[in-house]
């Protein structure tokens, strides 16, 4: 208990009541003053006992999860987080504008369905274009005697490594001519076992339009998963631009001149 100390002592002649903080009083004071002081002291002590030393009741602690939720509601997170945005996807038009060493071809075919055909690769496997619907397709027309075609092969090998067969079909079509016979193509591929995509030896003249109109190599047809021609390139196309063409959206109208 918290009680103010009261000390009493007797003197020979006088009785003293010592009340710290209220002064010293002796018996010569008037009776009423003495009575008032006594009652005042009693009241102060009683009030101190009832209120001053009693621990105030505290509300029961709320559930931690509820308290955390309330704090989050009352004090919203003001931390500013940086906004990370993906770089904008290039369009076919953007890619054409930045073309170096190659150019667009057959623009009237952009957005049109690629004509179907079937060819057989050097391992005897048949490839029908329409069977690859739902995947990107790259048809690469080339010849063993063409230096730009040979320079483009490492880019095709790396493209095959970076994009799986479940998303991209690469089909190299070697055009048959006196310098590019089927036997010459076989020897070339055998001497370069790093080639990791199917190669065919085909007479382009036997294929449907526009494939039978190719007169410049290397030429590549980029066909979207919906089966429509996205872009046709003439000249050696480097790996970054091959990937950009594959990832770009198709266009539905010709935007470039041959």
In tens, the pLDDT along 46-94 reads 444 444 444 444 455 455 555 554 555 545 555 555 555 555 678 899 8
Q: Whose CA is closest to 132, among 41, 60, 222, 38?
A: 222
Residue 125 lies in a domain: yes
> CA-based diameter of the chain, in Å?
148
Tell me what the mean pLDDT of segment 89-108 comes to: 90
Q: How far apart are CA 195 and CA 148, in angstroms?
A: 16
Q: Could you tell me the CATH number of the domain that includes residue 220?
A: 3.40.30.10
Q: How far apart are CA 165 and CA 136, in angstroms?
A: 9
Q: Report pLDDT digits (tens) over 123-138.
A: 999 999 999 999 999 9
Q: Is the same domain home to 164 and 101?
A: yes
**Is the pTM here over 0.75, yes or no?**
no
Residue 58 lies in a domain: no
Give the H or E element holding residue 44: helix 31-47
Residue 121 lies in a domain: yes
Q: Is the same domain home to 30 and 104?
A: no
Residue 78 lies in a domain: no
Residue 19 lies in a domain: yes
The total number of structural domains in the chain stands at: 2
* Residue span of the structural domain in which 28 resides: 7-52
Residue 255 lies in a domain: no
Q: Is the same domain home to 226 and 158?
A: yes
């Amino acid at each position: 208990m918290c009680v103010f100390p009261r000390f009493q002592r007797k003197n020979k002649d006088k009785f003293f009541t010592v009340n710290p903080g209220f002064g010293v009083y002796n018996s010569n004071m008037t009776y009423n003053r003495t009575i008032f002081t006594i009652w005042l002291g009693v009241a102060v002590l009683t009030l101190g006992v009832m209120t001053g030393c009693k621990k105030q009741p505290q509300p029961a602690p709320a559930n931690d999860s509820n308290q955390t939720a309330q704090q989050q509601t009352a004090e919203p997170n003001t931390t500013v987080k940086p906004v990370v945005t993906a770089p904008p996807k290039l369009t076919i038009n953007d890619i054409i504008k930045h073309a170096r060493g190659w150019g667009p071809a057959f623009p009237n075919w952009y957005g049109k369905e690629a004509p179907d055909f079937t060819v057989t690769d050097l391992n005897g496997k048949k490839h029908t274009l329409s069977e690859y619907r739902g995947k990107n397709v790259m048809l690469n027309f080339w010849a063993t005697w063409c230096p730009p075609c040979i320079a483009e092969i490492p880019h095709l090998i790396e493209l095959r490594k970076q994009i799986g067969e479940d998303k991209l079909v690469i089909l190299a079509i070697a055009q048959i001519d006196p310098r590019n016979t089927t036997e010459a193509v076989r020897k070339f591929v055998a001497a370069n076992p790093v080639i990791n995509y199917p190669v065919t030896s085909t007479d382009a003249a036997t294929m449907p339009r526009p494939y039978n109109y190719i007169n410049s190599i290397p030429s590549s047809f980029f066909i979207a998963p919906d089966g429509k021609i996205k872009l046709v390139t003439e000249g050696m196309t480097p790996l970054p631009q091959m990937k950009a063409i594959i990832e770009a959206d198709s266009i539905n109208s010709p935007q470039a001149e041959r």
